[in-house]
Amino acid sequence: MKIKKRKKIILTSLILAAAMAFSSPLWAGEVLMSESGLANWLQQKFLAREDKLSKLESRLAAVESGLQAWESQNLYKLYLWPGNTQVEYYNPGGVPGSKGSLDAPPQVHDGRTFVPLRFVGEVLGAEVIWNGDTRQVTYVAHNRQILLTVGQKDVQVAGQNLAMDAAPMIINGRTMVPVRFVGQWLGAIVKWDEGLKRVEIGYVKGGNAGGTGVSGSGEALG
For the chain, list the domains and their CATH numbers.
2-71 (no CATH), 76-217 (3.30.457.10)
SS3 of 208, please? coil
Q: Which residue has the higher pLDDT, 133 or 73?
A: 133
| Whether this model's pTM surpasses 0.75 | no
Is 217 a residue whose pLDDT tops 50? no
Burial of 111 by CB count in 10 Å (0-12 exposed, 13-18 middle, 19+ buried)?
Answer: exposed
Q: What is the mean pLDDT of the chain?
A: 79
Helix-then-strand count for the chain, H and E: 4, 17
The pLDDT value recorded for residue 177 is: 96
pLDDT digits (tens, 9 = 90+) for 46-103: 778 887 888 888 888 888 777 777 777 889 999 999 999 999 999 998 899 999 999 9
The length of the chain in residues reads: 222
